[in-house]
């Protein structure tokens, strides 16, 4: 009797392998960190996000695919918005609104910015928790926990600047992702050295 192929598990393994080199963490973490540190003049960094995907693919072709090979899942019908992202989005908005009402800031739109990390923290926690459940990347569960706690914590300091509390949260999350990415990447490069032959760039 032939063994039944678990396509869902294969897809999960491929999805998990995409994150095992830490490059996604490094690039996204650096972006969050820069936006957080320069929140008042973040327009150039927000515009740079359109270059992240091709830059990420170029880095992977240079460092990752020669070590592990390249696998691409067949593109099918567009998938619906994952429940964990939609749920965290709604939950974050509800939590933000409840906080604004409880603190009496609902009528002061200038104070909304200070409370915004509550929404961002829950949203990011949902995204990274979803990645943990779908891909089994344990470190993203830790990032989700830090985002969930760091969001409300970032609203506590009274900082100068309308966007300063948002910047604090983004810089904290970005710094954590960057550290996780560097550590993961170092481990990956040590575990998967380049082969003696055929170590050239792999094209997708």
Convert the pLDDT of each residue in 123-182 to its tens digit: 999 999 988 888 788 899 999 999 999 999 999 998 988 899 999 999 999 999 999 999
Look up tokens 């491929």; give the residue: 14
* Number of neighbouring beta carbons within 10 Å of residue 146: 19
Q: Which two tokens stand for residue 17?
A: 């392998």
User: CA 179, CA 184: separation in Å to the nearest integer?
Assistant: 9
Q: What is the pLDDT of residues 33-69, one digit of tens each?
A: 989 998 887 766 676 777 788 888 888 888 888 887 7
Is the pLDDT at 73 greater than 50? The verdict is yes
Look-up of token digits 């908005």: 93
What is the per-residue pLDDT for 75? Answer: 55
The dihedral through the CA atoms of 72, 73, 76, 77 has a sign that is: negative
DSSP single-letter state for residue 48: G
DSSP 96: H
Q: What is the pLDDT of residues 32-42, one digit of tens each?
A: 998 999 888 77
What are the C-alpha distances in Å from 122 to residues 3, 95, 118, 160, 166? Answer: 41, 9, 6, 24, 13
Whole-structure pTM value: 0.82
């Amino acid at each position: 009797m032939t063994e039944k192929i678990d396509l869902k598990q294969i897809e999960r393994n491929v999805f998990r392998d995409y994150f095992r080199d830490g490059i996604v963490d490094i690039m996204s973490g650096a972006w969050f960190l820069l936006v957080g540190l320069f929140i008042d003049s973040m327009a150039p960094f927000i515009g740079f996000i359109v270059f992240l995907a091709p830059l990420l693919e170029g880095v992977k072709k240079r460092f990752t695919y020669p070590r592990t090979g390249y696998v691409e899942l067949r593109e099918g019908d567009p998938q619906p918005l994952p429940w964990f992202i939609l749920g965290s989005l709604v939950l974050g908005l509800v939590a933000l609104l409840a906080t604004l009402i409880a603190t009496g800031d609902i009528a002061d739109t200038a104070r909304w910015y200070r409370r915004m990390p509550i929404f961002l923290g829950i949203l990011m926690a949902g995204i990274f928790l979803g990645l943990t459940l779908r891909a089994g990347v344990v470190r993203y569960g830790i990032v989700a926990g830090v985002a969930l706690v760091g969001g409300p914590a970032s609203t506590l300091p009274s900082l100068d600047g309308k966007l300063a509390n948002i910047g604090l949260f983004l810089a904290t999350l970005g710094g954590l992702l960057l550290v996780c990415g560097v550590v993961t990447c170092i481990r990956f490069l040590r575990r998967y050295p380049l082969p003696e032959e055929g170590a050239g760039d792999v094209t997708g």
